[in-house]
Structure 1
Amino acid sequence: MTVQRWLLALMLGCYVLAGVFPAPGEALRALTLRIPVGTAELTLPMVLLAVMLFNAGLGVRVADLRVVLSQPWRLTLGITANALLPLVLLPCVALALRGWPDPAETEGLVIGLMLVLAMPIAGGAVSWGQNAGGNVPLVVAMVIGSTLLSPLTVPLGMRLAGQLVGPYGAGALDDTTTVDTIARTGAGLFALVSVVLPCLVGIAVRTVLSEERVRRTLPTIKAVNLVNILSLCYINAAGALGQALAHPDPDLLVAAVALSGAVCCLTFVCGRWLSRWTRCDRPDGISLTFATGMNNSSAAAVLAAGSFSHRAAVLLPILAYSLLQKVVAGTAGRPPRIPPAVTGVAPVRE
């Protein structure tokens, strides 16, 4: 069994644990450090996310990025595709949901999917792309570029979501004010503090450490990341699954899983089509596919849990997307017969 399959099994275990024993997760999510971050305070999930992004930056070799930057057009294509796909897919989702009987659930599903799609490319795209034989420096550069743009792309995505669920959208969301506030200030500052800065600090630390020291710390980095992923999975799932089990709504659960799966598959299909349309070689095409198809669902869940903890309809599609994109990635990126060359990039899983 591969590491990815173990991760999927462990994530499922965290979901079950969150559904059966949600109280500890809700208590951990409520822990704050009384440091303001936009319209909220710095929470334990934000800290865990920042540590994960710091470790992602620590796994980046600047020398590899220089090679990619010498041919920037594919790098630009991957970042642009990941940023613009939400502008195409989300209106289609909102249109498809217009016939849903509960407008509040419709709007919650739209907001949840937008939060995922607006987030930067997932760090897990590096390890999945590496295992599939992709151009690892290229996908790492895409992750970094997308991360740097997130203070702009996340508020843009929230503004789009606000338009789709506002008075002229799918219905009248009772959290419209929250969406508008996040779009104006909270989302950009959240992306800067919890995503961009930790990643840049990790890259900076990597440049001053010797390669031997970095190599010795890689097992510790992987272990810390695994703990972070599972902790965030449990904490973020506790509220949504606790509410879902306390007030069962099978239709909402099915809709969240079905929509998340459909959107996730579409993003991978778009990435593969772009790689063929631009006639990429196999390694670059794999990198483009994973960069287009994978988004940082952990960051989306942290932001959603802080602002929409009372709305299971927002959190459920994010949790479903987090799990399903790993399933789709495993299907889309089967390893080649010849193992990929060993690189200096530490696999970082979102």
Structure 2
Amino acid sequence: MLWLLISTYVLGALVPGFGIRIRGLSAGTVTFPLGATAEASMPAFMLGFLLTVAGLATDVGQLKRVARKPTLVWLGLAANTLWPIAFTTMIAFVLRLWSNDVEAQSLLVGLAMAGAMPVAGASATWSQNAEGNIALSLAVVLGSTIASPLLTPLVLHAVAGVTHGDYSEDLDELAQGTAIAFVVLAVVLPSLLGLVLRQVLGARRIGRVMPALKAANLVVLLLLNYSNASLALPGIFRLSNWNFVVLTAVVTACMCAGGFVAGWAMAKRLGAERRDRISITFALGMSNNGSGLVLASSALADHPLVLLPLVLYNLAQQCGAGIVDTVLRRRASPTTSDEERGTRPPAA
């Protein structure tokens, strides 16, 4: 999957024309109460399709397993919000030494867009593969998605305080309406639609069509990544200052790695069992970066460098998830009990 994603980025950089045309397709603007608006663009529809399928695949019944012990869910949501703010604030002081202010501000805004998005649904898949607590993973993903109209503006406002000029104003404007309208239209509503359809149609019927939906999901995901890359990468590859590209790669990798480490450390500090630590680790290390790319490419088109941190963060979190999965598997003892490895369902 990682190589497929990299291929879409290469294709977007070399042959961007079709991707740009896709981005130009729109069904108009949706107006929400209090005047907030969001564009019903093709990328937003593609993102909505991905999240609807994710909702269809979510077994809400598993969430009952964490209903009596929601502490890790709440702490996971809090940490997922506070870590990007803390990291970006720290990096803002370091970037005062960077000679190009436009690049420094673009990097900060890109980090804000990545950190403000809800937890990626893919974190539940990685958690399940690593024998984590899938019920806890689903609870954190669903909780962050539903709470995103509140949490996303919080992160954007916080980072606006450590940026300046047009960049700070853009973050505040996004937090005051555009970002809320976007996450409701392209993130929350599609996710809830998938959950509702699963309850109405039943798991058995959904299971029959899920293989076809997963195939379509892969095609849409790659097409969305190609479209985002078509807008971001051609201009970036023409940069004369490759030092900025290297800086962005290092900073985004550090932010992503810090999320994984913070998740494991927090859960371990609380005395959580191994399978719960795995779930929280993937949740804090992976954000729904596709949402950030779609929002940034439409709302911050006048700041194209903002897209570079989002593109590189997407690669970093996929690589990071693979590394964490490998480390967890190597550290798992052959004598580890079934309950510790997550193969036995937790007691009611």
Q: Give the structure 2 partner of residue 4 of structure 1.
A: none
For residues 70 and 287 of structure 1, the distance between their equivalents in structure 2, rounded to whole angstroms, comes to: 17
For residues 257 and 248 of structure 2, the distance between their equivalents in structure 1, rounded to whole angstroms, comes to: 14
Q: Does 1:119 align with 2:111?
A: no
Q: Does 1:26 align with 2:20?
A: yes
Per-residue deviation at 1:176?
4.0
Opposite residue 13 of structure 2, the aligned amino acid is G
* Range that drifts further, 82-91 or 137-146: 82-91
Q: Does 1:11 align with 2:5?
A: yes
Q: Give the structure 2 partner of residue 285 of structure 1.
A: 277
Deviation track 1:309-333 (CA, whole Å, cap 9, x = no partner) reads: 3423210010000011011111112
Per-residue deviation at 1:193?
1.0
Q: Does 1:215 align with 2:213?
A: no
Number of residue pairs the alignment of both structures matches:
331
Is the Cα–Cα contact under 8 Å of residues 109 and 167 in structure 2 kept in the other structure?
no
Q: Give the structure 1 partner of residue 299 of structure 2.
A: 307
Q: Normalization by structure 1: what TM-score?
A: 0.90
Is the Cα–Cα contact under 8 Å of residues 239 and 309 in structure 1 kept in the other structure?
no
Q: Give the structure 2 partner of residue 75 of structure 1.
A: 73
Per-residue deviation at 1:153?
1.1
Match among 324, 328, 339 for residue 332 of structure 1 = 324
Q: Does 1:180 align with 2:180?
A: no
Q: Give the structure 1 partner of residue 195 of structure 2.
A: 203
Ranges in structure 1 where 5+ consecutive residues have no aligned partner: 1-6, 167-171, 344-350
Deviation track 1:275-297 (CA, whole Å, cap 9, x = no partner) reads: 21011111111001111111110
Per-residue deviation at 1:96?
1.4
Per-residue deviation at 1:210?
2.5
For residues 193 and 221 of structure 1, the distance between their equivalents in structure 2, rounded to whole angstroms, comes to: 21
Is the Cα–Cα contact under 8 Å of residues 52 and 192 in structure 2 kept in the other structure?
yes
* Range that drifts further, 35-44 or 131-140: 35-44
Is the Cα–Cα contact under 8 Å of residues 260 and 320 in structure 1 kept in the other structure?
yes
Percent identity reads 34
Per-residue deviation at 1:155?
1.1
Match among 313, 319, 334 for residue 311 of structure 2 = 319
Q: Does 1:233 align with 2:233?
A: no
Q: Give the structure 2 partner of residue 252 of structure 1.
A: 244
For residues 40 and 193 of structure 1, the distance between their equivalents in structure 2, rounded to whole angstroms, comes to: 7
Q: Normalization by structure 2: what TM-score?
A: 0.91
For residues 210 and 191 of structure 1, the distance between their equivalents in structure 2, rounded to whole angstroms, comes to: 27
Deviation track 1:185-214 (CA, whole Å, cap 9, x = no partner) reads: 001111111111111111111111232212
Q: List aligned pairs for 1:263-278, cutoff 5 A.
A: 263-278=255-270
For residues 205 and 10 of structure 1, the distance between their equivalents in structure 2, rounded to whole angstroms, comes to: 30
Per-residue deviation at 1:95?
1.1
Specify the SS of the correspondent of 2:49. Answer: helix
- Inter-CA distance 215–268: structure 2 relative to 1 (3 Å threshold): same
Q: Give the structure 2 partner of residue 60 of structure 1.
A: 58
For residues 194 and 178 of structure 2, the distance between their equivalents in structure 1, rounded to whole angstroms, comes to: 23
Is the Cα–Cα contact under 8 Å of residues 160 and 169 in structure 2 kept in the other structure?
no
For residues 329 and 8 of structure 1, the distance between their equivalents in structure 2, rounded to whole angstroms, comes to: 11
Opposite residue 159 of structure 2, the aligned amino acid is A
Specify the SS of the correspondent of 2:97. Answer: coil
For residues 240 and 303 of structure 2, the distance between their equivalents in structure 1, rounded to whole angstroms, comes to: 13
What value does the CA root-mean-square deviation take over the aligned residues?
A: 1.8
Q: Give the structure 1 partner of residue 102 of structure 2.
A: 104
Specify the SS of the correspondent of 2:96. Answer: coil
Per-residue deviation at 1:224?
2.1
